[in-house]
Amino acid sequence: MIYLDNAATTKPCALAFERAKEYVTEKFYNPSAMYKEGFAMQSELKKARSVLLSKIADESAFELIFTSCGTESDNQAIFSFAKRGNAVTTAGEHSAVSAPFAELKNRGICEPRIAPLEKDGRVNVQKLLDLIDEKTSFVSVMHVNNEMGAINDINQIAKLVKQKNPRVIFHSDGVQAYGKIPFRLAKEVDLYSVSAHKIGGLKGVGALIKRKSLVLPAYMIGGGQESGRRSGTENTFGIMQFAFAAENKFQTLKADYERLIEYRETLWNGLDQSIFTRISTQDGTPYILTVSAVGLRGEILLHMANDAGLIIGTGSACSSNAKSRYSKIALACGYDEKTADGVLRISFSQATQKEEILKAIEILNGVAFDLKKRMK
């Protein structure tokens, strides 16, 4: 079976898993315990925190709070700071951001405002800025779009947002960017969400990176872990495995980036372009290729490919229970329903091999041809 749905989740890094096993078998102590073994676990978590943070940010300016996932990190950022006036986000956000923004209105907390997308999935920056006024309290812009692969220049966007309203808290969902594209957080970014299982870590671990000078209220209340901002006994095994996976991933980040650009373009060039239309842009993340079999149903093609030995996606796995059959992101980019219905997302990882790409071309062309023939 060929697995090319890595934007949904990645296979855990075996090396990181082996290194972290001792935190289940030997170093299983509660980091909050008063005995020396507990204190030792706090020291281990401090090292992991430094590893994960230092890869993308200045440790003198930013700090990291462990959470259970990217969704929790997004929720903590939104509900902690979108508390007055209006809050602005984009039409391309993952449901971990778009659903909480809808809830802001439902709860009568503040007015959500949604900026439109460009054709390639990036936010229309000028229209985003037009939505910001003196009453705006919070802005959230996704770093890498999880369906289209488009990259927003969040450092520049944050700078422009702060120029218009310096009091705005700026957040970015960086789940599809962390460990995949080269960048460093600028001082204008206040909050940044990451997730372990997108880069070979385990499900159930994430983090919210925050500017140190920003006062973050407690989101989970109880035992006072994470300096009182996120109570709950830390998942030491998962956290350490995340840090080890990040060490492994960042070592080859630039090489992976270049190699996967080649793989992505090889896949696109090998597809039957009388059937498939390219949706994702060439200057987006090399980890995602989004196409549409216009006039065919993407979900059916997904199952046919699965039966033929290829696992791919039709968009965000977290949106698989949505009522609409159409990709909401494709519609937000201006594509019609026939195109949005045929969307397929093929996504890669550090472990993806050239032979898998060539076989995927064969399978995708075959199932699309078969489905098109049946529909005549």
Q: Is 318 a catalytic residue?
A: yes
Cα 234 to chain centroid distance, Å, stands at: 22
- CA separation for the pair 294, 238 (Å, rounded): 41
Written as one letter, the residue type at 342 is G
Q: Are 15 and 248 in contact (CB under 8 A)?
A: yes
Q: Which of 13, 110, 318, 333 is catalytic?
A: 318
φ, ψ of residue 207 to 5 degrees: the values are -155, 150
Active site residues: 318
